[in-house]
Structure 1
Amino acid sequence: MLTISFEGLPGSGKTTQARLLTERLRAEGLRVAHLPDLVTLDNDATGQQLVRLFASSGDPFLRYGDVLLDTFLAAAVRTHIVATHIQPAATSHDVLIEDRGAHTMYSYSLASLMRHHDVPVDDAIAWLRSFSALTGPEADLAVWLRPPVPIAVDRWSHRDNLTLTGEHRAFLAYVDAAYSELARHDPTVIRIDVHSQDPGGLHELVYAQLRSRLPTPSLA
């Protein structure tokens, strides 16, 4: 099973593009499992409790203000998703599409490390990568949708009727920088710059990048 995750800042178009790719690949005859964002993911009681604990600080980015605690909580959520959703899908699907995957966990933790701790970026990434052995496999391909940070922030705050502080906006700039560092170290990250494309046009860019790497639909 090929796994594809959509990564990027809030407002970058991940949810829309994950849905459009799912619909297209199903129309082409592939068996596709779609894993939605945490907010709408159908979790069991344990998963629901982990997500509540992870989000209970009320801050969408800084969480508990401690990168170790935030990262371990994110890893626990990821481990549970792998066990309850990703691994079971492998036996009956050709492709699994995630609306945010392991790189989201990495990017937010790396942003905190870059902003608040004097840690070499390469060392920080190596530490975060060690969580892969605990949480389960990453996506085979991570599609990083990258609009300019102010555009992503404005889209997201307008869509969800949020008032973001200057600290939140500054932190998202660090998240964007963290994605850049992750992409520099990871050949599975496919960067797609988002400008003024409509969703359909952006989807065609995404599909063009993925087409040669997709499995062939089964004739059965």
Structure 2
Amino acid sequence: MSAVRGRFISFEGADGAGKSTQARLLAERLRDAGHTVTLTREPGGSPGAEEIRKLLVEGDPARWSAEAEILLFNAARRDHLERRIAPALAKGHIVISDRFADSTRVYQGVARAELRDLVDRLHALMIGTEPDLTLVVDLDSPTGLSRGLARQSGEDRFEELGASFQARLRAGFRALAEEFPERVKLVDGAGRPEDVAARIWPHVAALL
């Protein structure tokens, strides 16, 4: 008998929306319930992809064109998929990723440039995998931007693109929820983290 494939859940949203916190809280809840969980992130999640992450999230906002970013993200994502995500799914794990391909669809395909067709073609060629469930943590752009900048993480290249860019991100993620309603679920990100987590749980419970 073949092994049971795991479940793949991604978290998405504009910068500062709280998706990283929610990914961690969900992983903790699932582990407490007895599930084996692999919690990971993009860009990154594997040694090679983490090296590429530094190129993408640090430095001057104008460091790369949107086209160059698409290629870098796909290189990182391919390594992440091969070395972390696919092996964990094959073992029956629940994989929770803080961002996946939908980020490239929105950041480079909509917010930075109108390159969605290129993003989709490269995704089909090099990745060919979608999450079983994508949770978009939706928060008003000014609040998200102030949170993102307040972190002072040194990984604020995209936050430094400004308020109008963050507003385009939010609109892009909301549009994805309309485009893929079966997979992408929009979750109100306002309020305490535990309140947002309570809104997320019914979507996860329905998947599992």
- Give the TM-score, by structure 2 length: 0.84
Secondary structure of the residue aligned to 1:25 is helix
Please state how far the C-alpha of 1:67 moved relative to its aligned partner. 1.9
Q: Is residue 43–residue 73 contact of structure 2 (8 Å, CA) maintained in 1?
A: no
Residue ranges of structure 1 left out of the alignment (5+ in a row)? 115-123, 215-220
Please state how far the C-alpha of 1:98 moved relative to its aligned partner. 0.5
Cα distance change on mapping 1:16 and 1:139 into 2, 3 Å? same
Counterpart in 1 of 2:26?
21
Cα distance change on mapping 1:154 and 1:26 into 2, 3 Å? same
Cα separation, 2, equivalents of 1:50 and 1:161: 17
Correspondence list, 1:2-41, <5 A:
2-36=7-41, 38=43, 41=45
Please state how far the C-alpha of 1:85 moved relative to its aligned partner. 0.7
Counterpart in 1 of 2:3?
none
CA RMSD of aligned residues (A): 2.3
Counterpart in 1 of 2:179?
185
- Give the TM-score, by structure 1 length: 0.80
Deviations 1:52-97 (A, max 9, x none): 33346x13x5541x22111111111111111111011112233110
Counterpart in 2 of 1:127?
118
Cα separation, 2, equivalents of 1:180 and 1:78: 23
Cα separation, 2, equivalents of 1:199 and 1:38: 23
Q: Is residue 149–residue 172 contact of structure 1 (8 Å, CA) maintained in 2?
A: yes
Q: Is residue 76–residue 135 contact of structure 1 (8 Å, CA) maintained in 2?
A: no
Cα distance change on mapping 1:19 and 1:99 into 2, 3 Å? same
Correspondence list, 1:28-177, <5 A:
28-36=33-41, 38=43, 41=45, 43-44=46-47, 46-55=48-57, 58-59=59-60, 63-64=63-64, 66-109=65-108, 110-114=110-114, 124-133=115-124, 134-160=126-152, 167-177=161-171
Counterpart in 2 of 1:120?
none
Q: Is residue 20–residue 98 contact of structure 2 (8 Å, CA) maintained in 1?
A: yes
Query: Taking every aligned residue pair, what percent have the same amino acid on both sides?
Result: 27
Cα separation, 1, equivalents of 2:16 and 2:137: 10
Residue ranges of structure 2 left out of the alignment (5+ in a row)? 1-5
Cα separation, 1, equivalents of 2:76 and 2:162: 23
Please state how far the C-alpha of 1:37 moved relative to its aligned partner. 5.0
The structure having more radius of gyration, on CA atoms, is: 1
Q: Is residue 37–residue 100 contact of structure 1 (8 Å, CA) maintained in 2?
A: yes
Deviations 1:130-169 (A, max 9, x none): 222212412111100011000111111122278965x422
Cα separation, 1, equivalents of 2:10 and 2:80: 13
Secondary structure of the residue aligned to 2:91 is coil
Cα separation, 2, equivalents of 1:90 and 1:38: 19
Cα separation, 1, equivalents of 2:105 and 2:131: 13
